Amino acid sequence: MVKRIIGIFIPVFICANLLAQNNANIYRVAYLKPKSGGMSQLLAGIKEHNKKHHNKGIMRVRTYRVVSGEKSGWLVRTYGPMTWSQVDEFVANSESKSHAD
């Protein structure tokens, strides 16, 4: 009787754990180092790029300026949050491939 109960509860417990997994929040982070004196030109280019490629859809982009530390003066761009399926969708999207060049 105990073996039967254990034999029922273990598979039920495993299935419940598999189905209870939360979707992961995946972020992509990119560092950009502007050329000397080119920060305003880079920011203008990023603004134009965001209007063209990131105005809708799953890819939310935020840009931050690093103000202290090793990478002071660099920009940090974060993409997300996304699930793994959204990452796969973004990678497979031909429009996202064309704007990466």
**Count of structural domains within the chain:** 1
Would you say residue 3 lies in a domain? no
Could you report the per-residue pLDDT of 61-71, keeping only the tens digit for each?
889 999 999 99
Give residue 94's pLDDT.
56
Residue 69, in any domain of the structure: yes
CATH code of 92's domain? 3.30.70.100
Work out the pLDDT band at 55, boundaries 50, 70, 90: confident
Domain extent at residue 36? 23-98
Domain membership of residue 32 (yes or no) is yes
DSSP-assigned letters across all residues of 5-37: HHHHHHHHHHHHHHHTPPPP-EEEEEEE-PPTT
Structure tokens at 65: 């300026």
